[in-house]
């Protein structure tokens, strides 16, 4: 829960990096515990809070923009640009024909939340697509290698 974060954030003191997963297909949904807060906006705020916390100042981060298969189908029905979180999105409306443009916009949003110079790897993923594992493995290996060098 949101109020519990301060109780566990210190557990990350000696980590090499962070993996953050955001369900991009939930861009039009609200939180279960607070129906006034958009899930993607909450994911962006949580990402910013954690990635910029003192525990992750010089740590690499891998972001999984997950559920791309559901996102690809949903943006054909639910306008991406109508969600308040995406007020600056200037792609086609509806963006159903521009999956890549919408994903690039989400990448920029996540990148904009990181302060400082840290390794940031962003992957668009689908949990059922095993082909992504090779890319994920390479980024994870890079983070571990950088941690060993430092």
Taking the C-alpha atoms of residue 78 and residue 96, their distance in angstroms, rounded to an integer, is 9
The better pLDDT of the pair 96, 144 is held by 144
Q: Could you report the per-residue pLDDT of 23-79, keeping only the tens digit for each?
A: 999 999 988 888 888 899 999 999 998 888 888 888 888 899 999 999 999 988 887
- What does the DSSP assignment read for 11-25? GGTT-SEEEEEEEGG
Indicate whether 96 pLDDT > 60.
Answer: no
Stated as kind and residue range, the H or E segment containing 49 is helix 39-51
């Amino acid at each position: 829960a949101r109020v519990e974060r301060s109780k566990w954030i210190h557990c990350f003191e000696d980590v090499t990096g962070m993996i953050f997963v955001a369900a991009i297909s939930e861009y039009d949904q609200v939180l279960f515990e607070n129906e006034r807060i958009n899930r993607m906006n909450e994911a962006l705020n949580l990402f910013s809070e954690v990635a910029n916390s003192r525990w992750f100042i010089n740590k690499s981060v891998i972001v999984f923009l997950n559920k791309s298969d559901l996102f690809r189908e949903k943006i054909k029905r639910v306008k991406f640009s109508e969600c308040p979180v995406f007020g600056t999105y200037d792609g086609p409306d509806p963006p159903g024909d521009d999956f890549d443009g919408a994903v690039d916009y989400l990448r920029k949003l996540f990148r904009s939340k990181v302060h400082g110079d840290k390794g940031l790897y962003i992957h668009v993923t689908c949990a059922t697509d095993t082909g992504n594992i090779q890319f994920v493995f390479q980024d994870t290996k890079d983070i571990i290698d950088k941690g060993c060098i430092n």
